[in-house]
Structure 1
Amino acid sequence: MQLTLEHLSFYLNQCENKRLSWHTLKAYRIDLKQFYSFMMNKDMTKREISYYIHYLNHHFKPKTVKRKLASLHAFFEDMVFYEILQENPMDKMRYKIQEEKTLPRIIQYHQLQDLFHRLDQDQHFFIKRDKAVIELLISTGIRVSELCAIKNEDIYLEEKYLIIYGKNAKERVIFLGQEVYLALKEYEQAFHDRISEQEYFFINNQYHRLTDQSVRHIINRYTDDFHITPHMFRHTFATMLLEQDVDISYIQKILGHSSITTTSIYAYASIQRQKEIMMNKNPRQLIK
């Protein structure tokens, strides 16, 4: 069977009826039209699809290839459901996509020093809130979404710990060091009345729940000459723990990773940094 434009139109209309997001629909259109162009005048056999996968692997990054194949698999499943195809030609196909290792971007030590220096110098009304947010990010490695979701009932300041609900509502306890404890205490005392009026611990400038975007604005206020994202605090926290020889299984639990494979990227990053030091900053190079 050969693929036609009518098949694509039918499927994309079905997707629109499911009210998928605009970005998802756009990706489906791009991926399926690309497949149509490659398969023009060819039967949709496993052999031809294997050629297509080979083509993708040589022209796109692994992440993009995975998305394109997921789009294609969903399309075939729909064609089987509506009895346009007897079976999904991708079923039982063996193919491998080599994942590229992308090193996590971390905040440089001098940037952290500069950031905290600016926090100490600033005296605006919400400075105690800003200090508490940034201290919590770098001291615990929690996700920005987890920070914004902290409720008043989740934080136990006097006992110096808080409860975080991560992905899939998985609960974990995070203990607080002295610096972050003091920052949270000062914030709580300064905004006690406002905090007690609502469900969530962190408030924005309008005294509503803090959002991910608000956290980005807070960080950008003190980093106008270098770019830092909220997630870079998490990467930096994990990398610095590894550099202090903290067992990776403990880091996994603190970060709330379900698999240690996810955490192992920081071990890989640490090795790469050691390699860079030995290659570019080896003391032997100073001996002439």
Structure 2
Amino acid sequence: MEWNETIENFSNFLKFERNFSDNTLDAYIRDIRKFKTYAEENLESAKPKTISYEDLQEYLVQQSKQKISERTQARWISSIKSFFKFLLEEEIREDNPATLLEGPKLGLYLPDTLSTEDIERITKSIDISTDLGIRNQCMIEVLYGCGLRVSELIDLKISDINFKEGFIKVEGKGKKIRFVPLAKYTSKLIKNYIENVRINNKINKKYEDILFLNSRGSAMSRVIVFIIIKELAEKAGIRKNISPHTFRHSFATHLLQNGADLRFIQEMLGHSSITTTEIYTHLKTEELHDVILKYHPRNI
């Protein structure tokens, strides 16, 4: 079985049997295609069923020399392990050469967050005298006010917004549905955008129900949302390296700081495991550590 056919079968397996989200699926397949290119260029006649443990080790050594982050290296190994486990289960191979691969030891990952003051500075830097500014302000407030992933933001439908009851229906990773409360302030901004800005767009029929549209009347792309946020942060004088996900982290952190139950936050974020949500307790502990060092009389 050749590379392309094997990778296609692996992709279908991840999508339909493992229920991977589009973003995770793309990352895994991109990793395997990168390894395929390496194998074709450096390993004579290497096919999925003939790759050895030594081949995999050498590939990872070469990749590590490129000064790629440990987190990315860890994902490469996860992708490769999943790929060869799939080949074993499908009886394409009789062994799994990736079994003994070890990833880099990752420290605790604490996501960057914004303070409420930072978020105010960003929103106030938006020129809301323009249609574009009104849309961008609304996007930022929905990201922060509802704790959405960027993919959830750009896929959000008008029909999924219940203004009367005050919540939005969100389809998250693995097509899991959750319901997120909609604050009156955020609801007001969405209504204003729909009634006074979005209505002026010449809307592509395919995207008639999508909330946030670009100037061509089509859905926003992830890249454009990233660019908008980078530009707004720079304009507001925020020096942190932020992304759409930073607003999601800030949403969770501020809820925890104000006394919200961790399981409530888990539900709002759409985390399948409470372990994922518990990262925010570390953020709170780190904040407490800084406060003690700053204000305790023994540290003055």
TM-score when scaled to structure 1?
Answer: 0.72
Which has the higher mean CA deviation after the structures are superposed, 237-246 or 24-33? 24-33
Equivalence for 1:217: 227
Equivalence for 1:161: 167
Amino acid of the residue matched to residue 282 of structure 1? Y
Contact 1:252 1:263 in 2 (8 A): yes
Query: CA–CA distance in 2 between the matches of 1:233 and 1:192?
Result: 23
Residue 235 of structure 1, CA deviation:
0.4
Contact 1:149 1:200 in 2 (8 A): yes
CA separation of 1:150/1:122 partners in 2, compared to 1, >3 Å: closer, same or farther? closer
Equivalence for 2:13: none
Equivalence for 1:71: 80
Which has the higher mean CA deviation after the structures are superposed, 266-275 or 210-219? 210-219
Equivalence for 2:112: 105
Contact 1:139 1:180 in 2 (8 A): yes
Which has the higher mean CA deviation after the structures are superposed, 71-80 or 218-227? 71-80
Residue 181 of structure 1, CA deviation:
1.3
Residue 201 of structure 1, CA deviation:
1.4
Query: CA–CA distance in 2 between the matches of 1:31 and 1:267?
Result: 43
CA separation of 1:200/1:18 partners in 2, compared to 1, >3 Å: closer, same or farther? same
Residue 237 of structure 1, CA deviation:
0.6
Residue 285 of structure 1, CA deviation:
6.4
CA separation of 1:217/1:205 partners in 2, compared to 1, >3 Å: closer, same or farther? farther
| SS of equivalent to 2:260 | coil
- CA deviation digits over 1:196-254, x for unaligned, max 9? 95121111122222222232233234222434210000001101111112110000000
1:282 aligns with 2:295: yes
Match of 2:95 among 87, 90, 107: 87
Query: CA–CA distance in 2 between the matches of 1:96 and 1:223?
Result: 34
Residue 125 of structure 1, CA deviation:
2.6
Match of 2:34 among 26, 29, 42: 26
Equivalence for 2:124: 117
How many residues end up aligned between the 2 structures? 257
Residue 72 of structure 1, CA deviation:
5.8
| SS of equivalent to 2:125 | helix
Query: CA–CA distance in 1 between the matches of 2:155 and 2:70?
Result: 34
Equivalence for 2:282: 268
CA separation of 1:216/1:70 partners in 2, compared to 1, >3 Å: closer, same or farther? closer
TM-score when scaled to structure 2?
Answer: 0.70
Q: Percent identity?
A: 23
- CA deviation digits over 1:98-126, x for unaligned, max 9? 5431101112343222112213x542232
**RMSD across aligned C-alpha pairs, in angstroms?**
3.9
